[in-house]
Amino acid sequence: MRFLPQTEETVRRMLDVVGVEAVDDVFRDVPKRLRETAAIALPAGLPEQATLARLAELGERNRAVGALSFLGAGAYQHFVPAAVDNLLQRAEFYSAYTPYQPEVSQGTLQAIFEFQTMVALLLGLDVANASMYDGASAAAEAALMALRVQRKRERLIVARSLHPQYREVLATYLQGVAGAEVVEVGFDESGRVDRAALAAMLDERCAGILVGTPNFFGVIEDVAGLSGIARQHGALTITATAESMALAAVRSPGDCGADIAVAEGQSLGVPLSYGGPGVGLFAARDRYVRALPGRLVGEAVDGDGRRGYVLTLATREQHIRRERATSNICTNQGLIALAVTIYLALVGKQGLLDLGRLNLERAHRARERVCAGGRWQARFAAPFFNEFTVRGVDVDAALCRARDAGVVAGTALGEWYPELEDSMTVAVTEMHGDSDIDRLAEVLD
């Protein structure tokens, strides 16, 4: 029991002080009936070697890791510099908790302040929070925020081209929220939100529109155009970005007129890890700061004039406002937000611009190569970042063949978009070299 410092001897001494005979006696207030049925029927504990051996055995059966992969669909392979994980393993960071005592948590608090700054910069908005669970729940919380801010309006217009899982999470979050209504707006032949349909749907009942960009097909939406239409009708514009690396090359949501922007931060220094933990990025315009969900860190000053950082505007949150809180979120994704902060500090301004360009070039080259053989065609004409959609005959069979050749070539769309069952998305990043792209084209041909 290497995790337990107490010994038989120290236990006996403590029992004496507490005034009981045996350890069992400290539970005398627990009803006997419950005590008698509480035994945990699990095998005996394992030493470290055996524990890790079991885990290694499980890990080895995840054969996708050995394959050449072009999977995207909301999670992306990017290179993470070694320094990120090394710094993340500082126990002072990972074993700390919520910085309620700011005087001894300045490391965590300053890092979050830097994170908030970077997120606001990336999304092109005024203020960002200390993180949400993931892009999907961030989108749901953004929708709830729009409903809160636009008090008399109950309707949300959501793009059907937004990641299906984001739409599912939104639906779950809205169950039981009185009056809230979601209507979907479709996409047109270019792969973007159908503007005419959107304009027809917008009226004074609409609190906001929610649009994915890049969307599930990899297509970059015309946020400037969409937000213009929304604004004419007094609706807020919310964008959700599943591939946050796109923010390195694409005009920021804030710059395009978004009022609230969320993103999944996994692409920025976070391992895939079968989809979690990731981190939800959340930013908005200044005027909405008091309606923001999640924790906020602000600058402060101590009695001697020293600059420091504190959790602030806490009265929005559950531990004070309880049932009238802006959200129920407590624990968020603190350490992952730190990973993003360290990653962005290393990659920096120039590195981001370079990565943006690299991803664009690799993906565009890949689409060209894949479509060169004639078996596949580009499905959508609109601009894309590092993920694109191709159409061909019998997508499932093609993916199967590719898999047999050791390549996970992409994600078939038919499961969520029946009219696109002849199509699949492919994600290409800076992790893919020329030979990888050639291999992709080869196995798909």
Partner 1 sequence: MAGPGRDKQAGLLLDEPLIFERNRPGQVGVDSEVGEGCEEILPEELRRRAIDGMPEVSEPEVVRHFLRLSQWNLSAATTFYPLGSCTMKYNPIANEAAARMPGFAALHPMAPDELAQGAIELMAELQDMLAEISGMDAVSLQPAAGAQGELTGMKMIRAYQQDQGDVRRKVLIPASAHGTNPASAALCGYQIERIEGNSHGVVEAGAVRRAMGTDVAALMITNPNTLGIFESEITEVAEVVHSQGGLVYLDGANLNALMGVAKPGHMGADVLHFNLHKTFSTPHGGGGPGAGPVGVRELLAPYLPNPRIVCEGGQWSWRGRAPKSIGRVRSFHGNFGMFVRAYAYIKALGGDGLTRSTQIAVLNANYLRARLEQTYHLAVPGLCMHECVLTDKYLEATGIKTLDVAKRLLDYGYYAPTIYFPLVVSGALMIEPTESESLETLDEFIAAMQAIAQEAVEDPAAIHAAPTHTPVGRLDEARAARKPVLRWTRATRE
Partner 2 sequence: MEFPDDLKYSREHEWVLVEGNVATVGISSFAEEQLGDVVFVELPTVGDTVAKDDAMGVIESVKAVSDVYAPLSGTVTEVNDDLPDNTELVNDDPYGDGWMVKIEIADLSELEDLMEPGEYQHFVAESDD
Q: What are 407-412's contacts with CB under 8 Å, separation 24+?
A: 407/67, 407/68, 407/69, 407/70, 407/439, 407/440, 407/443, 408/64, 408/67, 408/68, 408/69, 408/70, 408/71, 409/70, 409/440, 409/443, 409/444, 410/70, 410/71, 410/72, 411/71, 411/72, 411/73
Candidates 99-107, 193-201, 317-325, 422-430; binding stretch for partner 2 (CB under 8 A): 317-325
- b/e for 77-86, b at 16 or more Cβ within 10 A? bbebeeebee
Whole-number Å distance between alpha carbons of 146 and 261:
11
| x-marked contacts with partner 1 along 230-249 as a string, rule CB under 8 A | -----------------xxx
The verdict on 136 binding partner 1 (CB under 8 A) reads: yes
- Binding-site size for partner 1 (CB under 8 A) equals 200
Q: In what order do the strands lie in the sheet with 411-412?
A: 377-378, 387-391, 423-427, 411-412
**Least spacing, CB of residue 303 vs partner 2, in Å:** 15
Task: Quote the DSSP letter at residue 329.
Answer: -
The item of partner 2, partner 1, none sharing an interface with residue 258, based on CB under 5 to 8 Å by kind, is none
- Per CB under 8 A, does 314 bind partner 2? yes
Torsion of CA 226, 232, 235, 237, to 10 degrees: 30
Question: What, of partner 1, partner 2, none, does residue 350 touch, CB below 5 to 8 Å by kind?
Answer: partner 1
Rounded CA gap, 215 and 222, in Å?
11
Within positions 185 to 204, which residues make up the interface with partner 2, using CB under 8 A?
none
Helix, coil or strand: residue 303? coil
User: What is the distance between the alpha carbons of residues 75 and 250, in angstroms, rounded to a whole number?
Assistant: 18
HSE of 304 in the Cβ direction (CA atoms, 13 Å)? 1
- Please report whether residue 360 would count as binding partner 1 according to CB under 8 A: yes
**Which of partner 2, partner 1, none lies near 48, with the C-beta cut-off 5 to 8 A by kind?**
partner 1
Choosing among partner 1, partner 2, none, which partner's interface includes residue 377 (Cβ < 5 to 8 Å by kind)? none
Q: Is residue 290 a contact residue for partner 2 (CB under 8 A)?
A: yes
- By CB under 8 A, is residue 315 in contact with partner 2? yes
Which of partner 1, partner 2, none does residue 186 bind (CB under 5 to 8 Å by kind)?
A: none
CB-CB contact of 420 with 228 (8 Å): no
Site string for partner 2, 246-285 (x = CB under 8 A): ----------------------------------------
Q: Can you tell me which of 12, 90, 251, 321 binds partner 2, judged by CB under 8 A?
A: 321
Minimal CA–CA distance to 132: which of 124, 123, 17?
123
* Contact call for residue 258 and partner 1 (CB under 8 A): no
287 binds, among partner 1, partner 2, none (CB under 5 to 8 A by kind): none
φ, ψ dihedrals at 412, nearest 5°: -70, 140
Structural tokens at position 27: 């539970």
Q: Considering only 34-42, 154-162, 186-194, 436-444, which stretch makes contact with partner 1 by CB under 8 A? A: 34-42
Cβ-contact 27, 35 below 8 angstroms: yes
Q: Which of 258, 182, 256 is nearest to 224 (CA)?
A: 256
Taking the complex as a whole, the smallest distance from the CB of residue 124 to partner 1 amounts, in Å, to: 9
Name the residue nearer to partner 1 (CB basis): 201 or 268. Answer: 268
> Which of partner 2, partner 1, none sits in contact with 65, Cβ below 5 to 8 A by type?
partner 1
Residue of 212, 218, 265, 334 that binds partner 1 (CB under 8 A): 334
> Contact region for partner 1 (CB under 8 A) — 187-195, 196-204, 291-299, 367-375?
291-299
Task: Mark the segment that binds partner 1 (CB under 8 A) among 148-156, 169-177, 182-190, 370-378.
Answer: 169-177
Which one of partner 1, partner 2, none is in contact with 92 (Cβ closer than 5 to 8 A by kind)?
A: partner 1
Q: Which stretch binds partner 2 (CB under 8 A): 197-205, 248-256, 314-322, 330-338?
A: 314-322
DSSP string, 110-168: HHHHHHHHHHHHHHTSSEE-S-BS-HHHHHHHHHHHHHHHSTT--EEEEETTS-HHHHH
Interface with partner 1 includes 277 (CB under 8 A)? Answer: yes
- Among residues 320, 330, 353, 397, which is the contact residue for partner 2, using CB under 8 A? 320
Residues 179-218 close enough to bind partner 1 by CB under 8 A: none
Give the residue with the Cβ less far from partner 2, 48 or 286. 286
Cβ-based neighbours of 122, under 8 Å, separated by 6 or more = 244, 247, 252, 263, 281, 344
State the residues that interact with partner 2 by CB under 8 A: 290, 314-315, 320-321, 324
